[in-house]
Amino acid sequence: MANTALKHADYMAADMGHLAAEEARLLALEAEYCSHGDTVHYT
């Protein structure tokens, strides 16, 4: 049972790392293509 819990914790940590990387990628895109109202400004 403890082994299963450890594997679950490993999967959760991997998911959190993936989510953090995805959030960073999206924030970088947002910084590059910033929308102000109904106009999109490309840098």
pTM above 0.85, yes or no: no
39, containing H or E segment:
strand 39-42
Residue with tokens 């970088």: 28
- What residues contact residue 32 under an 8 Å CB cut-off, 6+ apart? 42, 43
35 by DSSP, 3-state: which?
Answer: strand
List, in order, residues 6 or more apart from 43 with CB less than 8 Å away: 32, 33, 34
pLDDT digit string (tens) for 1-43? 556 666 766 767 777 888 889 999 988 888 887 766 666 666 6
